[in-house]
Amino acid sequence: MRQTAWGQFDRVTRALVAGAAGGLVGAGVKLLGELIFPPRSPGEPIPPAVAVSKLLTWLTGHPLLEERTTLAVQAFHWSFSLAVGALYGLSAEFWPRARIARGAGFGVVLLLATHESLLPLTGLSLPWSQIPLKEHASELFTHVLFGVSVELVRGAVRERVFGAPTAA
């Protein structure tokens, strides 16, 4: 591995930073994908808005204000993407199988862990059986886009910024 300005950082830090960068780019790519293939019908509750509203109600006794919904959803979306990207970067660094299908596997696992199980089980989205097939398809498409984007950026940052090539 060639020496770079980042050389003093340990492998864990480099993995987290590279994954976080991938998570941010992946968030943008997923949002663009959702413009093409919307993940829910108009008027359907947006899971991050529901989660933030429930949290605010629990903390303050007041729900999320309607005019703050877009900001709350975006803050949740970008923060969550950064965090799961960083965790993916760490996983991919020490467990190469996490990179299956160039990150598409990561996107599918994330979908299964969130939209297909955790969100319906916690009441943050409709029950799985009540979600139209086209919405499941949209979530699959955009999560695969997210996973592949995270992996591409993670690998590029690892190689170009840190000087550490990604093994095949």
Q: 161: exposed, middle or buried (C-beta count within 10 Å: 0-12, 13-18, 19+)?
A: middle
Res 83: pLDDT: 98
DSSP string covering 75-125: HHHHHHHHHHHHHHHHHHHH-GGGGGGGGHHHHHHHHHHIIIIIHHHTTSS
The reported pLDDT for the residue numbered 133 is 92
Residues 2 and 163 sit within 8 Å (Cβ to Cβ): yes
**Whether the predicted pLDDT of 166 surpasses 80:** no
Q: What is the per-residue pLDDT across 47-71, written as a single tens digit (0 to 9) for each?
A: 889 999 999 999 999 998 989 989 9
Nearest to 77 by CA among 126, 145, 146: 146
**Residue 153: helix, strand or coil by DSSP?**
helix
Q: What's the pLDDT band for 167 if we cut at 50, 70, 90?
A: low
- Which residue carries 């975006």 as its tokens? 74
The per-residue pLDDT for 9 is 65
| Tens digit of each residue's pLDDT (9 = 90 or more) over 66-98 | 899 899 999 999 999 999 999 999 999 999 999
Nearest to 146 by CA among 39, 64, 44: 39
* Mean confidence (pLDDT) of the chain: 90
**How many percent of the chain have pLDDT more than 90?**
65
Over 80: is that where the pLDDT of 112 sits? yes
| Cβ atoms 163, 1 nearer than 8 A | yes
pTM: 0.88
Predicted pLDDT at 1: 46
HSE-CB for 6 with a 13 A CA cutoff? 18
Distance from CA of residue 115 to its chain's centroid?
12
Maximum Cα interatomic distance, the chain, rounded to a whole number of Å: 54
